[in-house]
Amino acid sequence: MVVQMGSLRAKIFLFMISVVILGFIVISFLLYNLLGNYYVNREQKDLVENGNRIAELTAYAVENPNPLVEQLYRINIENYSKTTGSYIAIFDTDGRVMATSTSAKDIFEGKMLAPSLIKDVIDGKAIHNLGNFDEMFKSTVLWSGTPVLVNSKIIGGVFYILPMPYLDELRRDVLWMLMVSVFATLAISGILSFWISKRLSDPLNEITEAAQKIASGDFEKRVDINLKDEIGELGRSFNYMAESLQNLEQMRSSFIANVSHELRTPMTIIAGFIEGINDGTVPQERQREYLGIVLEEVHRLSRLVSDLLDMARIEAGGQLKMKPFDINEQIRLAVLRFEQKLTGKEIDVDITFDKNECLVLGDVDAIQRVLTNLIDNAVKFTNVGGELKAGVYTKGNHANVFIENRHFFTHIYLYIYCFLFFVC
């Protein structure tokens, strides 16, 4: 699988790897310095104390110049040097090395120290530092400089130098261990970050592909994401959305088919009757009758177009004109509109209300169109001498409108209920 650099998976992978690398850089820097400082601080205290003792012995030897004191002095210097593994050099105010331990003989004997190296000591300051001691040592050394005072006068100083081979080794070992840890952690974090990014990006890619198919008209597409987290919730929401869109598309297709049928029927009737009148097929004495039928179908088309316009207005965000009205009165008016048809087909009408007045909240025009369509269909499909029942009964806060037609000969009942969920 090819992972694009701009993809979510690549971003998560690179982010986690960057965090790991940055974390190890910080940890390496801290450990490198903290371990080194700990080791140096541990040795530094003894270094300064030993340097002070050598400075005191030197001052005593200068104040008491005799062979025995000088011999004891050199023995002490050698003991300090051997027991601590250090280098000792005693110098005068000019920087000339006057005495050294055996270990430092080859390095310092007969040499002049740089003024910059001895300046602070000659000025009476006790110093200590970590470095290569003016490049005289190849490895890092820890050294201290202590002034030698005789009768409150500085006559020179002592350099007490301690090699630090373990410091470099310690730091190398720390760096090596850190490097091994970095590569091991990078390998583990790389696997984990790849798995996590794949777990996040695969469902999102699946949702994206499904969304593209739905956008192209494939409403059957669903995503299979069985996760119990936000991604899983997104997948379930997506499937719910896809199902809603599919149902909406089915309703739209069914609606278009029904509308097409509803439009085709009156148009076919109108066209047939007009052609019959034009070509003389319809007798002149019956033309008025057929023109009445044509006019009725035209009104039917007009009502259908009005319904479509109302639906379009509502879908576009238009609001219904809600106001209180008496639903009983609207039913009476709707039945009166079909008085001639009802009389012509000798249909008995039974209107029942459980209350004299039933106020509901709704769009009067929209409800009147619904009632007109329902009564029109009921009258149309009721045989001569049949029965039509209409009325309202209340239940709780709901007003229930019913329109029922009964075929006199077949005893088949057609119930058409329109439930108006409005406060009565």
Q: Give the pLDDT score at 141.
A: 83
Q: Give the pLDDT score at 416.
A: 37
Q: What is the token pair recorded at 151? A: 């009768």
Could you list the residue range(s) of the whole structural domain that residue 285 is in? 262-315
**Which amino acid, residue 190?**
G
Q: How far apart are CA 228 and CA 221, in angstroms?
A: 21
Do residues 42 and 66 make contact, with C-beta atoms less than 8 angstroms apart?
no
CA distance to 62, 208, 209, 297, 316, per residue, from 242 (Å):
101, 13, 13, 39, 21
Q: How far apart are CA 375 and CA 405, in angstroms?
A: 9
Q: Give the pLDDT score at 173.
A: 72
Q: How much of the chain is helix, strand and coil, in % rounded to 5? A: 60, 20, 20
Do residues 424 and 359 make contact, with C-beta atoms less than 8 angstroms apart?
yes
Give the CATH number of the domain where residue 352 resides: 3.30.565.10
End position of a domain, from candidates 121, 145, 169: 169
Q: Give the pLDDT score at 165.
A: 66
Q: Give the pLDDT score at 191.
A: 79
Q: What is the token pair recorded at 327? A: 């639903």
Q: How far apart are CA 92 and CA 89, in angstroms?
A: 10
> How many domains does the structure of the chain reveal?
3
If asked whether residues 55 and 113 sit together in one domain, one would say yes
Q: Per the domain annotation, does 185 fall within a domain?
A: no
- The DSSP secondary-structure symbol of 124 reads T
Coil, helix or strand at residue 386: coil
For 302-318, b/e burial (b = at least 16 CB within 10 A) is eebeebeebeeeeeeee
If asked whether residues 34 and 164 sit together in one domain, one would say yes
Q: Give the pLDDT score at 411.
A: 34
- Mean pLDDT for 148-152 is 89
Choice between 375 and 178, residue whose per-residue pLDDT is larger = 375
Is the pLDDT at 412 greater than 60? The verdict is no
Q: What is the token pair recorded at 423? A: 């406060």
Q: Give the pLDDT score at 1.
A: 42
| Look-up of token digits 């998560």 | 12
* 59-76 pLDDT per residue, tens: 998 888 888 888 998 899
Q: Per the domain annotation, does 184 fall within a domain?
A: no
Q: Per the domain annotation, does 12 fall within a domain?
A: yes
User: Exposed/middle/buried for 184, CB within 10 Å: 0-12, 13-18, 19+?
Assistant: exposed
Coil, helix or strand at residue 151: coil
Q: Give the pLDDT score at 410.
A: 35
Give the CATH number of the domain where residue 39 resides: 3.30.450.20
Coil, helix or strand at residue 292: helix
* Confidence class for position 159, pLDDT limits 50, 70, 90: very high
* 164-207 pLDDT per residue, tens: 766 666 667 777 777 777 777 777 777 777 777 777 777 777 88
Is the pLDDT at 311 greater than 50? The verdict is yes
* 17-44 pLDDT per residue, tens: 777 777 777 777 776 666 666 666 777 7
379 DSSP β-pair partners: none
How many helices (H) does the chain have, and how many strands (E)?
10, 11
Which pTM value belongs to this model?
A: 0.39
Is the pLDDT at 156 greater than 90? The verdict is yes
* Residue 200: count of CB within 10 angstroms of its CB: 17
End position of a domain, from candidates 113, 136, 169: 169
Coil, helix or strand at residue 155: strand
Nearest to 345 by CA among 306, 384, 377, 310: 384
* 90-112 pLDDT per residue, tens: 999 999 998 898 888 888 888 88
Q: Per the domain annotation, does 200 fall within a domain?
A: no
User: Angle at the Cα of 307 (from 306 to 311), degrees rounded to 5?
Assistant: 115
Do residues 364 and 383 make contact, with C-beta atoms less than 8 angstroms apart?
no
